[in-house]
Structure 1
């Protein structure tokens, strides 16, 4: 149970950090690199699957990926950009923070319930995959929207 408690504290810390990073990021122009780096950086965590304790069954993989993709819809719907002075910024959304907190609560509740029946290593692997499956589609959608705005800005500059 100590591992479950420690991972819960880490999850709360990471969610808090994500909120502060998001607030800070909204003050600076967005770049393609800032959008694509989180899933690339996070992908290194997949090395955990080298250790047999973290490996998942096919059904666990499917469950984690589907749930992560469903959660990503909320993040995609609450993320948008705005153009200021020919630069692209992430638009602040109050709903984003409530959704992030809600997703954290749902994940923590799921972890508490599932930790009684699923081994800690497998559960860790599932929640990593869930988080990655949530972040990847969200960042792909953000990148696509960013590129559309970037193209509009370029066309506007050319026609002026």
Structure 2
């Protein structure tokens, strides 16, 4: 059963509110390799939805969604957050544009969802957007991991020179 458009909009607004609150809270805590790697690993379990035939999408749609997520939509996430060394800790620093960027991504999601729901079933639409989100999160977290390694390697080299 498909949710009415009003409910979908409410769900999107609640989702982005929770995500922004989580990201703000996340910026107050120390970043570790575990914090970086766990979200995409946990999200990867969602691929089990493809075991059910109703969630299966064509390879073309799957690859396109993954590439658009990782190639285009990951960029705003990567450009509005960076890792910084604060004392002995590494923390994530958000740009002032972070919340604006999240709102723009939600608007893009709502607009594209209205299109895809006309050509795909609700389950396939979910699968398509999941694949897109996974591509986005994976690329952002790989970028963050490489940034983390660069900072920790630089710290290790500096400590060895002392």
Structure 2 unaligned segments of length 5 or more: list them.
none
Contact persistence 2:2–2:122 (CA under 8 A):
no
Q: Secondary structure at the match of 2:85?
A: strand
Counterpart-to-counterpart distance in 2, 1:14 and 1:157: 42
Structure 1 unaligned segments of length 5 or more: list them.
none
Structure 1 position 47 matched with structure 2 position 18: no
Structure 2 counterparts to residues 1-160 of structure 1, below 5 A: 2-3=2-3, 5=5, 6=7, 8-69=9-70, 70-160=72-162
Quote how far apart the aligned CAs of 1:12 are.
3.2
Q: TM-score, normalised by structure 1?
A: 0.91
Counterpart-to-counterpart distance in 2, 1:54 and 1:137: 24
| Segment of structure 1 superposing worse, 138-147 or 57-66 | 57-66
Deviations, residues 82-121 of structure 1 (Å, cap 9, x unaligned): 1111211101211122111111110111101221222111
Number of equivalenced pairs: 160
Q: TM-score, normalised by structure 2?
A: 0.90
Quote how far apart the aligned CAs of 1:8 are.
4.8
RMSD across aligned positions (CA): 1.7
